[in-house]
Amino acid sequence: MEFIRVNDIEDPLFAKMHTLLGEIFPPEEVLDFDLWKEPLEDPSIRVFVAVQEGEVIGATEYRYYPDWNIAMTDFTIIGQSGLGIGRFLAKKREEDLQRLAQENGKTLFGMFAEIYDPYDREDFDFGGVMAMNPYVRREVLSHLGYKRLNFPYIHPSWKNDGEAVEGLDFCFMPTDEQVTEIPSSLIVDFLTDYYSVLSNKPQHWLDMIDELKQLEYVDLCPL
């Protein structure tokens, strides 16, 4: 299995990855094909695919923010069960992020992720791949060390239609397991930057950001 970076919309591996995205995730979570051009060319956005015998069987997108010394996992896709794809992607991503943090003269503080909450919403199919089942994924991410940030979370739809996407938790995996809270300002700064590409924000999201600004810290809770 190979871990190959994709940074060109014309790369045949990207077309295969985008097809896999559409098979696994609901439509509101998938950016249109043509809109991937600039993100792929952005050096701070790291998109890698797991390739076996020329086929894309998994993928992950993440990014490192040197000013905040944190990372964000955008998505992880496991296209087939029983091949160890999840472990392979997680280890390769961790190695890459630790290297980036070291180049920044630091030890990675932690990593954000959005996690589906199947206890709130159960209408997720995820292409019928059981490894992508939200119950399974939630437990795997808990094992990795992710904690739920204790506030009601929604995010703007990637369709940029002004709709709010619910049924998720916003989580953080601290490198130091003794960390039990993080500054609210870090969450606000990160989310404002992360969703700056979307011009049409739902009012519900704007209200959530305003409420976070009133807090000093947000607790990390078990998933």
The C-alpha atoms of residue 187 and residue 184 are separated, in whole angstroms, by: 5
Q: What is the pLDDT of residue 50?
A: 97
Question: Are the beta carbons of 181 and 219 closer than 8 angstroms?
Answer: yes
Q: What is the pLDDT along the chain (223 residues), one digit of tens a residue?
A: 999 999 999 999 999 999 998 888 777 778 889 989 998 999 889 999 999 999 999 999 999 999 999 999 998 888 888 899 999 999 999 999 999 999 999 999 999 999 888 776 555 555 555 666 777 778 888 888 999 999 999 999 888 888 998 889 999 999 999 999 999 999 999 999 999 988 999 999 999 999 999 999 999 999 8
The label of the residue with tokens 């011009």 reads 199
The label of the residue with tokens 């015998």 reads 53
Enter the tokens of residue 158.
């990637």
Q: What is the pLDDT of residue 30?
A: 81
Q: What is the pLDDT of residue 27?
A: 75
Question: Are the beta carbons of 173 and 110 closer than 8 angstroms?
Answer: yes
For 24, the 3-state DSSP assignment is helix
Report the chain's C-alpha Rg in angstroms. Answer: 17
Residue 219 β-bridge partners: 181
Q: Kindly report, residue by residue over 22-70, the tens digit of the pLDDT.
A: 888 777 778 889 989 998 999 889 999 999 999 999 999 999 999 999 9
